[in-house]
Amino acid sequence: MEFRELTVETNFAGIEMLTGMLTAVGVAGCTVCDPRDFEEFLAGTQTHWDYVEEDLMALRDAVPSVTFYIPEGEQGDALLSLIRQKLTELRADGVWGPLALKMATVAEEDWADNWKQYFKPLMVGDRLLIKPSWEEVADAAGRVIVEIDPASSFGTGAHHTTQLCLSELEQLPTQGANVLDMGCGSGILGIAAVLLGAKRVTMVDIDENAVKTAGENARKNGIDESRLLLLAGDVTGDAALAKKIGSGYDIVLANIVADVILGMRRELAAALRPGGALVVSGILEERAIEVANGLAGCGLELRRRATQGGWSALVFER
């Protein structure tokens, strides 16, 4: 399969707005180019840099941008048309930078080879070890191994938002729990929940490819299909999907972005049983209070907030 590689140029203020919009329309994951990250890297290390590779130094002067992939074909054409429409609407605001769209074609195998070199086994929290199928781990140090091949979906465990969510999940009573993973991506959160003792997990994503990938990853981890419910669609506009998802969950996980979390806050709250826990992540630190207030208005009580690398995760109880 071939994919379109699309890059949208923006400004610092537009990065979160763009990632939120792309998630909302069904893009599984994005790569952000933010020159501030490179400046923080240089400032935050004690190493004296006499020389930094030219390609790396170029990041300092790069235009903030968001890169993502969509498949070729009818489904990709429809998604691209919708994205173009959204960008036209956003340009009218005049505050998000150029919003110029650049496009290239890349074969799936080439895309996969490019990122595989960066995906290595990773210890997360106190109990988990995330690894791709092509890497071997000699000593897991007693940790629960979660094997994930994300394909074109978000979720390798390397991003701060995923690590925050996994670390908070570890602290919840997962044994025998009924868990809902909203915006499942690669399935990493739902799969970790099962391996930590959850009885049953429902994984939902707006992108059908993500749901397929989540199912494949579940099988790689030896999870019986009877313990899974995989659903594709947008719960905020699909009553039939909301009915299939149901309610009464002990734990609900949503690692998305602030705007999408706020947009589905009522659905997230309704899915929980009384006393159940909601973990939301993918929230920039400066928007954590806004998200907390929005969820509090749905009958949820904030129990804990964790931060890492400029991102926040919030844990609520119903």
Q: Report pLDDT for 230.
A: 97
47 confidence band (pLDDT: 50, 70, 90): very low
In the predicted structure, residue 143 carries a pLDDT above the cut 70: yes
* Residue 293 identity (one-letter amino acid): N
176, pLDDT greater than 90: yes
Return d(Cα 38, Cα 64) in angstroms, integer: 12
Q: For the residues 250-269, what does the mean pLDDT come to?
A: 92
CA atoms of 210 and 224, how far apart (whole Å): 19
Domains of the chain: 2-114 (3.30.70.120), 157-317 (3.40.50.150)
Cβ-Cβ contacts under 8 Å for 243 (sequence gap 6 or more): none
- In this structure, the chain runs to a length of 318
pTM of this structure: 0.69
Token readout for 128 is: 């988990």
pLDDT of residue 52: 39
Over residues 177-204, the pLDDT tens digits come to: 999 999 998 899 999 999 999 999 999 9
Burial class (CB in 10 A: 0-12, 13-18, 19+), 91: middle
Which of 33-37, 103-107, 286-290 has the highest mean predicted lDDT (pLDDT)?
Answer: 286-290
